[in-house]
Amino acid sequence: MEFDPATGASKVLSKLKSFVNKQVSTQGFYSRNEGNPLLLYRINDDLYFQSGACRVLLDDTISIKVEGNEQARRFELRAQDLIVFQCSYIPKLNTLAGIDPTAFVEEEDFDFYLFVRNIANSSQRRDLIGR
């Protein structure tokens, strides 16, 4: 996906097109939930989570919870104890079970919200994303 945080303009690119177009670089992560784009990206030194028009700076003042089970989960993002983003979703866990021989696959590899939570809750991982 090509995304301009200044304008909010986005365009989904194929992997082949991204590979051929050398101007496209990976500076974040992209997923979708029920057709809505989910973004985790860096602007200068700041790391952001964005879903639709809701953009949140991921710093030490935020807290994120992911609750539920394999059938239904709830994601809640708080900034200074105010809920700034929340949603319920059905995780697509281990969609490659029995097919992918990779031994190091983790649950966050299939659950973008869990991935965001794990990044946000680790200052070390936050510092590495998008650099």
86 DSSP β-pair partners: 76
- Provide the sign of the torsion angle of the four alpha carbons 57, 55, 112, 27, taken in this order: negative
pLDDT band at 3; cut points 50, 70, 90: low
| Containing structural domain, residue 41 | 2-128
Are the CB atoms for 42 and 84 separated by under 8 Å?
Answer: no
48 pLDDT more than 60: yes
24 pLDDT more than 90: no
* Number of domains composing the chain: 1
> pLDDT tens-digit profile of 94-116?
555 566 566 666 778 789 999 99
Distance CA(130)–CA(86), nearest Å, equals 24
**The predicted structure's pLDDT at residue 34:** 85
Distances 60 to 18, 34, 71, 79 between C-alpha atoms, Å: 33, 29, 30, 9
> And the tokens for 65?
């919870």
Distance CA(128)–CA(29), nearest Å, equals 13
**The predicted structure's pLDDT at residue 18:** 46
